[in-house]
Amino acid sequence: MTGAANGIGAAIAELAIAHGHRVMLTDVDKDAVTARARDLGARAAAHALDIRSPADWDRAFDAAEAEFGAVDVLVSNAGITHTGHARDLGPQQHRDIVEINLLGTITGTCTALARMNTQGHGHIITVCSMTSFLPLPGYATYCGTKYGLRAFHHSVAIEERDGPLDFTIIHPPSTRTGMLDQEMADPSCAISFAEKSYAPEQIAETVVDAITTKPVEVVFPPFAGRVQRIAGVFPRLMRRVIPMAEAKGRRQREKLLTVAGNPRPGK
Ligand SMILES: NC(=O)c1ccc[n+]([C@@H]2O[C@H](COP(=O)([O-])OP(=O)(O)OC[C@H]3O[C@@H](n4cnc5c(N)ncnc54)[C@H](O)[C@@H]3O)[C@@H](O)[C@H]2O)c1
């Protein structure tokens, strides 16, 4: 489980353990993930893993195998954003987003493919984003990485279709984590507030359920998510509809900011 110290990853780890799974929580923030695993008891362990590092991936898999035996499921969840319009981000910020969200997840998937094919079973779950269907203002490079990640995930799943592995990709919408707090602080990301946000525990339910049901792809919310997926196919439609959604998001964001002591919308 990557990015397990906070947000959606922490919620998935907690629920998976409640369902009887054993979880190796990993994160670039070693102290935070160690503390999180300690709180979760004997079915949890922690290991530092910066998903950009191939050597870290090998060490984390070795540690998980030593602790629990063969890794049955990889949940690739870690991701970041830097908010702002593309013209306002520096080159390193664009690079960080690509290196973590896209290249880091690719490195992890390839590490898992080798090990899981050798052991003869495994399930790769990629936590992606609804932005992999809809390009949004304030998220240009982030959306680019999530579009790319979806294409990579499905390409690999097709390449491996005759092998023993299963593949699931899950696309959360706005979810009330530190990432959404970061977006709330930047008006250029107002579109995130156009629709209702979800609690990380709701996304975790879908991910933990996917460990047994193995769906190919899950969008949120089930109906509106399908509409968004279709809208993303038509660029002229997107150019008309997305500015309207952005205006709604700005109004919603203003309302949420006026609720004293409530930094996270919907809570
Ligand atoms: N929050 C949302 O609105 C939202 C919506 C759609 C998709 N997502 C996706 O869900 C995933 C989790 O996001 P979140 O909202 O829980 O974010 P978060 O910021 O709350 O947590 C992300 C975790 O990833 C870790 N991380 C960052 N860089 C890392 C690296 N290089 N290696 C390993 N770990 C690293 C962080 O330390 C943190 O613990 C991300 O892939 C994100 O893109 C989030």
Q: What is the DSSP letter of 76?
A: E
Angle at 66 between CA 12 and CA 68, to 5 degrees: 40
In this predicted structure, what is the pLDDT of residue 261? Answer: 54
Among the residues of the chain, which ranges form H helices? 7-18, 30-40, 54-68, 91-97, 105-119, 140-159, 178-184, 200-213, 222-231, 235-258
Among the residues of 69-172, which ranges form H helices? 91-97, 105-119, 140-159
In this predicted structure, what is the pLDDT of residue 264? Answer: 56
Closest atom of ligand 1 relative to the 32 alpha carbon = 39
Euclidean distance between the first and the last CA atom of the chain, given in angstroms as a whole number: 26
Q: How far is the CA of 162 from the centre of ligand 1 (A)?
A: 32
In this predicted structure, what is the pLDDT of residue 262? Answer: 55
Amino acid at 146: K
Backbone angles phi, psi at 135, to 5 degrees: -75, 125
Q: How many CB atoms lie within 10 A of CB 82?
A: 17
Amino acid at 176: R
Q: pLDDT, tens digit, for every residue of 107-137?
A: 999 999 999 999 999 999 999 999 999 989 9
- Name every protein residue with a CB atom under 6 angstroms from any ligand 1 atom: 2-3, 5-9, 27-29, 49-52, 77-80, 100, 104, 127, 129, 172, 174-175, 177-180
How many Å apart are CA 115 and CA 108, to the nearest integer? 11
Backbone angles phi, psi at 10, to 5 degrees: -65, -40
On whether the CB atoms of residues 74 and 85 are closer than 8 A, the answer is no
Which of 176, 183, 177 has its CA nearest to residue 250?
183
Which positions of the chain have pLDDT values less than 50? 260, 265-267
In this predicted structure, what is the pLDDT of residue 2? Answer: 98
Q: How far is the CA of 174 from the centre of ligand 1 (A)?
A: 12
In this predicted structure, what is the pLDDT of residue 266? Answer: 44
> Could you give the domains of the chain?
7-258 (3.40.50.720)
How many Å apart are CA 203 and CA 123, to the nearest integer? 18
